[in-house]
Structure 1
Amino acid sequence: MRLSPSVLLLSTCSLLLIAGCATPEAGGAKPGTEERVADAVTAPLQDLNLVRTKIPEILQHAHEAPYQLPGDGACAALNTELAALEQALGPDIDSPKRKEQLDLLAKGGVAAGDAAFGALRSASENLLPFRGWVRKLTGAERHSGEVAAALVAGQSRRAFLRGVHLGKSCS
């Protein structure tokens, strides 16, 4: 059974309206509703490499030199860079923000919201025929790889700096 595009669009919009009430606040681990909708809707433009994800400067630096000590290696410099990495990457694995547990109803709402945004993104990605080839030819695939590499480098740098931070007994 194949759904018509109008039924799919109407269903997705309905789910987004419902999910908008259940998504975490903008300061949470996930972007806000407007940002997620914009990301899902602009997927074809990202595939055409017309809209690109900006890599924060701190992650570009981490990609270039993941194990370099900041400045003189003093605690103040470590704290400053760790805060910048936290801003760019979000909370670390053992962060109190990340450990907060949602109640069962909120978890269900978040899951419904994730499903709705996933459906919208999937529908917008399917608008472009031969998407994989288009991404390769436009350079969007290469840019996605650069973004992923910067994220991994940022996480590695944060782990390295946290180890140095603990080794120096910084507060």
Structure 2
Amino acid sequence: MAKLNIVLHEPEIPANTGNIGRTCVATGTRLHLIEPLGFRLNEKAIKRAGMDYWKDLDVTTYLDYNDFLEKNPGAKIYYATTKAPQRYTDVRFEEDCYIMFGKESAGIPEEILLENQATAIRIPMIGDIRSLNLSNSVAIVLYEALRQHQFDHMQSEGHLTKYQWK
């Protein structure tokens, strides 16, 4: 079973982190938060966005990027950024890999990207748009990684409540 990891490097907006937390719960994905955070984890906004799913979230926080690396030695990390040379669809996401996203105002620091060019990935966009919303970006890349693993631990079929599909 593919167990994936989403990493948020210094997230700033509680609603984005709450939405991402909800997506992680829905997909069985672990969430890793690298401090400093632009909010407190007990804020109402994060709980509202994560709804009642937040209590079920597998979440770990780290003091900084180095603390994250020390506590996850040998982790295969993909760095999602608008500055990457390759698309997120060009890589094969391994089981237990980590997909990192940067803070909303600045992304992942360029010195980290420079050290990890081979695993830096981007979502294609047109024109001069700065970036997509963070929670949307996480969903796009995470679901591609899950698709590559045939959604192996997920419910693939929906059911009507009052009727049956023909």
Larger radius of gyration: 1
Smaller-chain TM-score bracket: under 0.3
* Structure with the higher fraction of residues in strand conformation: 2
* Structure with the higher fraction of residues in helix conformation: 1
- By relative contact order (CA 8 Å, sep 6+), the higher-ranking structure is 1
